[in-house]
Amino acid sequence: MTSFCGSPPLDFSLQLRDAMKPIRKAVFPVAGLGTRFLPATKAMPKEMLPVVDRPIIQHVVDEARQAGIEHFIFVTGRNKGVIQDHFDRQFELEMTLRERQKHADLALLSQDLPEPGTTSFTRQQEPLGLGHAVWCARELVGHEPFALLLPDVLVQHNPSCLAQMIDAARGLSGSPNIIAVEEVPEDRVQMYGVVGIGERDGKLFSINQMVEKPTRAKAPSNLIITGRYILQPEIFSLLASHSRGAGDEIQLTDAMIELAKKQPFYGLKFEGKSFDCGSKIGFLAANVAYALQRDDIAPALRTELKRLLGEK
């Protein structure tokens, strides 16, 4: 269990001369092996598993794009080339669709395609943890604040979770770090990173403690870290030490705890429903929830769900 106390005091006043730099870049760690979904992920990246008819990673990139992100940085690993292919043009497919007059499908492919020069891919050559994956993006991020989105987590809401975070960041000065948080039942806090609650201002509050997988008795709250971050570039120098933490991996939480001694951290209790697509139940729930938002699918799905549940 790792924690820190004593965050700098909260300052919600907007000071234009010290206003936070805009968030232009987002990092997506997609090098994980996806062992919880074997054998489905033996030859296909877990990030390409579909939620309805879009890969998980496409949903997360959509969230970042809606928030105004301009540069999409993917930290990949071996056997992840299909992710890069997904965000590229497929000329043979486009030609076939054009010949068959599938104009709606062509338009769909076009609207999902990033602009030329807006995607970058780098390799995490060893599975050394989330902190190491973030560190691998250091040269592509440069010296500016950036968003970090974990592709295992989908958040269903409009505006997106990241858009809410960036909007909240506009009201902060200096070099703040922001973490998306949500409530869980107290008997589940030992499964997550948990934050302590400092001074509040609506959904935004200062974080005065971070604890990785605490016992119920030692948890500072029931607010957990949800997989969306806005981080300052100073995090890279802390990750560069390659200090090993839990599981003998380079832990992002450990670096954030160190950074919090020098820079403020804030929590945003976002609006929306999150789904942990790294678990089978979360993945299945996401498919149902996203399908129920689709006018072309929802009526028939509701009928089928009622039939299936009635059979039980």
For 149-208, write each residue's pLDDT tens digit. Answer: 999 999 999 999 999 999 998 878 778 999 999 999 988 888 888 999 998 876 789 999
What is the value of pTM for the model shown?
Answer: 0.89
Angle ∠(258,263,268) on CA atoms, nearest 5? 100
Looking at residue 78, its pLDDT comes to 85
More reliable by pLDDT, 173 or 60? 60
**Which residues sit opposite 242 in a β-bridge?**
none
d(CA 239, CA 242): 6
Q: Return the CA Rg of the chain.
A: 20
User: Which residue in the block uniquely carries the two structure tokens 């009635």?
Assistant: 310
Respond yes or no on whether the N-terminal peptide bond of residue 39 is cis (omega within 30° of 0): yes
Give domain 22-172+235-262+270-278's CATH superfamily.
Spore Coat Polysaccharide Biosynthesis Protein SpsA; Chain A (3.90.550.10)
User: Which residue in the block uniquely carries the two structure tokens 């119920």?
Assistant: 216
Looking at residue 178, its pLDDT comes to 96
The predicted model gives 11-39 an average pLDDT of 78
Looking at residue 172, its pLDDT comes to 82
For 233-277, write each residue's pLDDT tens digit. Answer: 999 999 998 777 666 678 899 999 999 999 999 999 999 999 999
Mean pLDDT of the chain: 89
Residue 91 pLDDT more than 50? yes
The predicted model gives 204-228 an average pLDDT of 90
146 to 45, 65, 93, 184: CA distances (angstroms): 25, 13, 34, 27
Looking at residue 226, its pLDDT comes to 92
Respond yes or no on whether the N-terminal peptide bond of residue 214 is cis (omega within 30° of 0): no
- pLDDT band of residue 12 (cuts 50, 70, 90) is very low
Of 92-96, 217-221, 232-236, highest mean pLDDT: 232-236
Looking at residue 114, its pLDDT comes to 87
**Contact, 232 vs 108, CB < 8 A?**
no
